[in-house]
A and B are shown apart, each in its own frame.
Chain A
Amino acid sequence: MKFRQALGRIRHLLKKEFIQTLRDPHTRFVLIAPPIIQMLVFGYAATMEIRHVPMAVLDLDRTSESRDLVERFTGSRYFEIRMPAASRQDLRDGIDRGDVLVALEIDSGFAGRLRDGHRISVQALVDSSNSNTALVALGYMNQIGARFAQDYARDRAGRIAPQVLMTAPQVALETRPWFNEGLESRWYFVPGVIGNLMMMMVMTLTAFAVVREREIGTLEQLMVTPVRRWEFIVGKTVPFFLIGLFDAALIATIGTLWFGVPFRGSVAVLGIGIVVFLFAALGLGLFLSTIAATQQQARNSAFFFTMPMTTLSGFGTPISSMPMVCQHLSYINPLRHVVALLRTVYLKGVGLDVLWRDLAPMAVFAVVMLSISILRFRKSLE
């Protein structure tokens, strides 16, 4: 009987909450449109692939060998020769203006040294203001150079002494990229975007909803009604839980249908992961609402949490290359776990036997946050 009364009260609260959230056309728009727009734009923008690096070449050797080397660059999809260079100054200017990222200078005597079997160094100017691009471009260059030298040596060895070719030991590395054979970086980032968007929506909306009642003064009115505190919290969080679930389904669908990210796992595992994460985000939102007096404070505090959480989530940069302290710290971050879980479910398709390692910390986080919020919520009213 008591329980049924409670359910009745919660139902009224839910009705009020839905009306309040969906009444304002701006808020309605905010619930649906931004996730879609963001998913589309960021799905396209979030790519780390580095192709067609603009480069300039100054060939002072002008031999068939040097031209051959240059052709290896133009022939690869990694580089694109953007400007002819007549002097060293041209190279430097191109880099300074930002027209090219790499400038290659092949000195005269290149072919001669190549024939004599010397170690040859080719000067390369690299604009490293983006260290990642620079590093990847350097890697490509070295691969092209190594292959060129290898082919040249083999050709020559074949001409001079065929038996050398027969017996010189060779070691090859066969690489097998799994899960993402085409090395599409979009496949990796799109699942991460889902996690980030969910957190932003659910956490801030929850924090705001409670604080607004306090700021406007309607919270006190609610508290003199027979509504209990836990009923109030359930009534407050369920709508945002449902909205979060809806948004997650929406953007997950876009990720698969529009961006063609393969979905290899099970929908049930994805669902469990999202539900647990939503609880964590709700818990954090509620916690923020207990420490903020105004909506502005709630928003600022939300941001204070969001930025480090995004940084330590492994969304943009791999966690394994962070310092140890940050790696340990990232374990308490639910965003880290949901991003890892989404990626694994999408691309690897493994099940709960592996993913419990991400689910458990999120669940603990959710329980701790929700408990703290309920406890603090009592105090904050008195």
Chain B
Amino acid sequence: MKVLVLGGRGYIGSNLVAMLRGAGIEATSASPRTKPAPGQLRIDTRDRSALQAALHDVDAVVNCVAGDGAAIAEGARVLADTARATTRCRRLVHLSSMSVYGAVEGCVHERVPPGPLLGWYDKAKRAAEQHVAAFAHGGGQAVVLRPGCVWGAESELWVGRMGRWLRAGRLGDLGIAGDGWSNLVHVDDVCVAALRALELPLGRGEVRTFNLAGPDSPRWNEYFIDLALAIEATPVRRLSPRRLQLDARLAGPALYLLRKGLQRLGRGGRRVPEPITPGLVGLWQRHLRLDPRAATRELRMDWTPYPAALQEAAAWFVEQESLARVSARAAATAG
């Protein structure tokens, strides 16, 4: 089987390409900012002709494209259209997100109707799912994966910045404001799910959708406390919802602008603390629990246990920190 992985340089995509190759599948990684090389293509998903050429000799596509709303929604539309026009590529595995459920709370399985939209991201993700479904209705086969928060070693999003916020005392035990479910899912589990989705027996025109979340993934507070203890960002702080709102709504926009400004001037905006966004604050208090039982059953998932993933994530974080210290010292000595 030959598989094209769109967004192959991203966190999920790069792990997936490695796993597919390890499993004996010929995987080509595609990304808009990559140097073309064997097994590596430079493709912007919205570029119809480039995509057409690439789809010509693959059996399936895994779509891991991230980015802004247009890249997600429009990219999926172009992909679905182009794939429909080819004869060889009959299967799409699409990485969606739990955010398609919008403002729904409670335990949600795949047939729960989505709630009101929360922002541009869910809107784009929902639109993308519709394009994928349209591809299947046109005679293809599609599997939509809806992961929660994808983590593991090297996860900047759910380990790196969380650890830095914990270290800075801007994150901790949030009480009610952190009582939402984390729906953390290990990146390896997402890759295994994508691999099995490629091989899942499907009929013509069939679409299957699966939630992906560790069945033992905890509520956010528990994750924050566990991570803080593991990286020794202690004592863990108990933060008030008020303080969190101030950080997100007042400090957040200022930090965002400062970072952008410094980046534009080439002055290393990385040193400015990362803003906590109101979207994250909303996520941490949302009682949405992804029900992963369909994936457990049909994709035969053997989920990475939360304690094992935590240990791995924390070890990576601590190692990153010590590497950063070493390079900072080296820079100082050189200067």
Q: Do A and B bind each other?
A: no
